[in-house]
Chains A and B, each alone.
Chain A
Amino acid sequence: SQQGEEDPQALSIQEGENATMNCSYKTSINNLQWYRQNSGRGLVHLILIRSNEREKHSGRLRVTLDTSKKSSSLLITASRAADTASYFCATVISSNTGKLIFGQGTTLQVKP
């Protein structure tokens, strides 16, 4: 069964606007990761946040984690057309195996 649920399923914004995607999960985690997938391509790792962290930044990306609500959000600031892709959150319950459990993803379209 899917661990994560993402919201919204699809998002369309204008270039320059911010995009926010949310992810909820069901069980306690070791860490949560966000990946990007361009159409027809493999997944690319964006950012990892550990269960004892609340916020992380990487360039135009900001990720938050609220373990009490079992939720995370990914904010992309000043979006560009090149950010058009699907974004997936994935949780890791055990670092011993490192198994990723993916959500269904959010499809982001950034219009020029």
Chain B
Amino acid sequence: NAGVTQTPKFRVLKTGQSMTLLCAQDMNHEYMYWYRQDPGMGLRLIHYSVGEGTTAKGEVPDGYNVSRLKKQNFLLGLESAAPSQTSVYFCASRRGTSGGAADTQYFGPGTRLTVL
């Protein structure tokens, strides 16, 4: 199992450009999450999904959109990138059914995005 993978690993954008970050998990997990990590801020939740075809806003959703058309994939889109969106983006997934490990989130390796 690859676990949670993220594409791309690095990206540099100019202000106003758009891009999509792809998260894929092969664990058949119901729940998926997108976080951003800024220096000294910990991780903050952008959007999440509780199942295929569902999405919901997290703490810092402005400027981002998401889609979960397939259970294994969760896409994060930036329609018009801004320098404030320079960050490291992490995707995570969670099984979500009852049981000891249901609440554990499994994280991808991250995407480092710079917006100039």
Residues of A within 8 A of B (CB): 1-2, 4, 30-31, 33, 35, 40-45, 48, 88, 90, 92, 95-105
Contacts and interface: CB of A to CB of B under 8 A. Distances in A.
B103 interface: yes
A105 B109 CA distance: 18
Contacts of A88: 42-43
Interface of B: 4, 31, 33, 35, 40-45, 48, 50, 56, 58-59, 90, 92, 94, 96, 102-110
A98 B103 contact: yes
Contact of A98 (B90, B94, B108): B94
A42 B42 contact: no
A99 B42 contact: no
A72 to B, nearest CB: 15
A42 B33 contact: no
Nearest to A45: B104
Contacts of B31: 97-98
B96 A98 contact: yes
A97 B48 contact: yes
Contacts of A40: 110
